[in-house]
Structure 1
């Protein structure tokens, strides 16, 4: 097999950064929501920026969380029938085809999503005056991580498929 340990090391680093980034998003989300509740209901003086910050953290957490879920195989998928009906090799081929389709779609929408982010940067948010593009830049960023993880998965599946054809036990 081709030595791709450098690729695996890069992915491990990216995935670790993504994990800690998601943890920090949860913490900021909870803190911003807590501040909003305290200032709105206890001090009767609501803050304007906490709601937007919490919403931003929630959107980013959903997008980067879906990247983590996909990588860990925890994403919602309907594979009960394919696991029961297809043999091991056919199921692996199906997984390779599905992953290649997802990679193709994410590559196809990457440049248009960057253009959309750029166009949204002209519109400021009401509470923070940040450009609206900060909400949407997470989609191209997460798609890079998803594509890299899926490429690794496709390479691994193809290697295991060809190893299995040679008579090796998988």
Structure 2
């Protein structure tokens, strides 16, 4: 069951990264073209590019946690005994879960507050932009919980 959720979530996040990156590139190219070849550049292109960039980061953060693409400073870590490495890894993952659960809760509150705000140039509710924060927090939390479960299963064997 968890593997199926992980697979579906992975496809969703990869699609989100692809679409937001394409949106970022497209809006940036429209902006570049309009500055050179049009009398006035459309006002929405900068905001659209920024929004697409934020969503590309939000979609890719969970995938980075899943695939260990974050930077590790393991010089000291490698010198520790294996049982301490194991404890430290679980402690770090527990801290990540706590941090991003808090982040997600406040992200949801931010989304709620964004229902009353409007985007300056595109005129959509800012909650749409703010939804990237709980998305980022929840996907990092999900993949970190999966990592802890797998570490504990390996330790039991």
Pair in the same fold by TM > 0.5: yes
Shift of 1:124: 1.2
Q: Is the 8 A contact 2:35 2:41 kept in 1?
A: yes
Alignment counterpart, residue 128 of structure 1, candidates 122, 127, 145? 122
**Other-structure match for 1:88:** 82
Matched, 1:75 2:70: yes
Matched, 1:14 2:9: yes
Shift of 1:94: 1.2
- In structure 2, the gaps of 5 or more residues are none
Matched, 1:47 2:56: no
RMSD (Å) for aligned C-alpha atoms? 1.5
Alignment counterpart, residue 113 of structure 1, candidates 100, 107, 118? 107
Q: CA-to-partner distance for each residue in 1:135-160, whole Å, 9 max, x for gaps?
A: 22111122222211111110111111
**Other-structure match for 1:58:** 53
Shift of 1:9: 1.3
Shift of 1:62: 1.8
Give the TM-score taking structure 2 as reference length: 0.91
**Other-structure match for 2:30:** 35
Structure number with bigger Rg: 1
Number of matched pairs: 157
**Other-structure match for 1:159:** 153
Shift of 1:30: 0.5
Alignment counterpart, residue 134 of structure 2, candidates 125, 140, 147? 140
SS in 2 for 1:80: coil
SS in 1 for 2:73: coil
Q: Is the 8 A contact 1:49 1:128 kept in 2?
A: yes
Distance 1:111 1:66 in 2: 17
Give the TM-score taking structure 1 as reference length: 0.85
